[in-house]
Amino acid sequence: MNITILSSNRIRNRFFSVAPLFCCSLILLAVDWNHAFAERHEEDPFARLRHVMVEKDLRARGIKDSRVLQAMNRVPRHLFVDDRQRALAYEDRPLPIGEGQTISQPYIVALMTELLELKGSEKALEIGTGSGYQAAVLSHLAREVYTIEIVSSLAERATRTMANLGYKNVRVKAGDGFFGWQEKAPFEAILVTAASERLPETLWHQLREGGRLVMPLGGEHQNQRLIRVRKINGRRQTEEITGVIFVPMTGAAQGEAR
């Protein structure tokens, strides 16, 4: 075995010859990182607004699930609203999307998503696609997302938006969400984004044992409550979460209410 012993002078000389290279590497690394950061913000000028929204309107108001916060920070909400509304996209308020429908405020989207307790392996069903924003958030948290919109023009627009953004685990169907999506049932998670006076039985039957269903309960001009229902041994365990205001379910749900 050969052992080489360097004198202190040689060690010192080697250090001073390597040090400039090391410093140059650090400078280049910093320049590259700053360049990449600037590129990201140039590509997505709304990134800072989205980050502020997540910190101020979600985390500060009690949203704790880190995966939900990350998903909300990744989905470009401004691309799910009309061009005229983009400047308002990251304010904590609902916005009109046409056809008398709205995109829910970010806090409510995050709250309802968090209540589903998604881990990543689930098959989720959403009733009321609207702009597609909620489905896009769910796509980062569930294995498969199926979403139904009764207004065909909104379903078509949401399909185009999500296709353009590359969401491949979301399927949109134009139809009456009151009947769910029987061919794809059962679901570990069901989220309803329109209010109904009662939980539709068809959706309850499509919820898997141990699954969670989150929806606003109440009529259009009544006090509405956001609820979470768990299916435990085939029975309902219902929690009331908070008061909300949602547009009513239309289609067959309106006939049920009469």
So which residues are the catalytic ones?
104
Side chain identity, residue 36: A
In the structure encoding, which two tokens stand for residue 189, read together? 């998670």
Distance separating alpha carbons of residues 91 and 251, to the nearest angstrom: 31
Distance separating alpha carbons of residues 186 and 231, to the nearest angstrom: 12
Number of residues in the chain = 258
Distance of CA 96 to CAs 31, 201, 252, Å? Answer: 42, 30, 24
Say which residues have a Cβ less than 8 Å from residue 164's Cβ, sequence separation at least 6: none
